Amino acid sequence: MPETSKGAIALEFAGFWRRFGAWIIDFIVLGAIFSVLEPLLWPDFGKIVSFTTNFDSNYWVGQFRALSNIVSILVSGIYFVGFWVWRGQSLGMMVAGIKVIQTDGSQVDIGRAVIRYLGYLISFIPLFLGFIWIALDSHKQGWHDKLAETYVVKIPAVPEAHAATPPTAAA
């Protein structure tokens, strides 16, 4: 568990399934964003005059798909890095009640957030092994967490405050 100082709350690492649920929510949010942006990347978007030419349309469609992939990586990077730096949580993490912190317990800075996002991309490449690693690791860290020196922890529940009852008067 993350180191705690005297009087601090001991945090519990967030497990694979909770993190996976948060990622699904983020995937849905990003899908909605991409559905708005996607038409802007179509080869014929904004074409005013239609004319026939001899160019290879397959070549241009491939170029636009490559551009679409780059835009997707940039937009998702801005989404994750922005939320991690701002709150330590993406929207999915907020719903799941988890937060990303540095291994020393401090808030994630922009450098660590960028490294963590690049680690996300690396974790995808070998059939998601970098994410599956979360289930196997004693600190519940994926490869992206290890690269960025971060933990994902459960946010402790806030204890309920009870109103003080006034003393009863003796009769």
Rounded Cα distance between 46 and 51, Å, is: 14
Look at residue 61 in the predicted model and tell me its pLDDT: 65
Provide the token pair at 77: 């990077």
* Per-residue pLDDT at 74: 94
Helix (H, G, I), strand (E, B) or coil at 27: helix
Q: What pLDDT is attached to residue 164?
A: 61
For residue 123, the model assigns a pLDDT of 94
Residue 168: its pLDDT value, please?
Answer: 66
Residue 67 has a pLDDT of 78
Q: What is the pLDDT of residue 10?
A: 76
User: In which region does residue 36 sit, left (phi positive, over 0), alpha (psi from -120 to 50) or beta (all else)?
Assistant: alpha
From first to last of its 171 residues, the chain has per-residue pLDDT tens of: 545 455 556 789 999 999 999 999 999 999 998 888 776 656 555 555 555 555 556 666 667 777 778 888 999 999 999 999 999 999 999 999 999 999 999 999 999 999 999 999 999 999 999 999 999 999 999 999 999 999 999 998 777 766 666 666 665
Q: Hey, what amino acid is at 60?
A: W
Q: How far does the chain reach from its first CA to its final CA, in angstroms?
A: 54
Check residue 43 and give its pLDDT.
56
Q: What is the pTM of this model?
A: 0.78
